[in-house]
Amino acid sequence: MTTRNPSLIILIAMAVIAVLGFFGYAYYDSTLALIMLFTGVILGGSIFIFKKEINLWVNQRSSKSLSEKEQQYLKDHFRLWEYIPPTQRPLFFKKVFLFILDKEIISQDPSQKVYHPAVLLCGAYAAFFEMRKRESRVPFSRIPVYVFYGHPFPSPQFPKDLHISEYFEEDGALLFSVPHMIKGNEDPTRFFNILLYESGRVALNGYFDSVDFPSLEKLCHFGGFTISKMEEYLGLKREHIQVKALALSQFFVDQKRFKATFPGLGPLFEEEFLKFGQS
């Protein structure tokens, strides 16, 4: 849509200039027409190459944001919505909007369109974890690619394991089984919220490295499941389950009980991720 793609309008204008220049030069041998032709082609080509950067630059500085329908979906379905202060919600929506413009979303099933609610949720978690950054900027800028599957999948990092989510740090990619993503977000008390977990891995990168975290066994026990059940559900062995991100996931499922069970860790998460408007 042109409202989110201003480069398309400029590109069409350059194409019109080039076409007018072509016919003007062909029929009238006009120097001005020749200049119009080359200007339209060169600028049009440059705009095509840098269209993503142009769209982001324009939209960052405009008042455009998510549509009312998209905003309502997140109000109804984003599990961390209640933690965003009303005064910060326009910034939150703007960050999700820029996320959608910036990320390359890949569906591994060519016959299936990308499920837009899943894109909105990915953007919502990314935006939430960067709400302390008050600027209207793309969240998770070091993660340019999201890959969606309709089922558990193998990957170059884990070629022998059918798993449901993955953070491939080397390529800056997050991979998800969308059905597992959606049900984990909708009912995190019954199904593990893989989108919160993987987004937490990105957000926690470089944070709390000196903190003594609970063991994987203790965190699984807190969540009401065993390590073997966790391995079975994720499709990955325990050495590939990150304790930091698991702890953050459990924190958001039941904050009161988490802070009572892990009194040294709960306040750290609260200070880092729930104190908006500070940097």
Q: What is the spatial distance between Cα 164 and Cα 97, in angstroms, rounded to a whole number? A: 26
Instruction: Return per-residue pLDDT of the chain as tens, 279 residues.
Output: 445 666 667 767 777 887 887 777 777 777 887 787 778 778 767 766 666 666 666 665 677 889 999 999 999 999 999 999 999 999 999 999 999 999 999 998 877 789 999 999 999 999 999 998 878 789 999 999 999 999 999 999 999 999 999 999 999 999 999 999 999 999 998 999 999 999 999 999 888 988 999 999 999 999 999 999 999 999 999 999 999 999 999 999 999 999 999 999 999 999 999 887 554
Q: What is the pLDDT of residue 74?
A: 97
DSSP conformation class of 217: H
Q: What is the pLDDT of residue 136?
A: 77
- Which pTM was predicted? 0.82
Q: What is the spatial distance between Cα 275 and Cα 4, in angstroms, rounded to a whole number? A: 31
Provide the residue ranges of all domains of the chain, joining segments of one domain with +: 6-59, 65-273
Q: What is the spatial distance between Cα 84 and Cα 70, in angstroms, rounded to a whole number? A: 17
Phi-psi bin for 208: left (phi > 0), alpha (psi -120 to 50), beta?
left
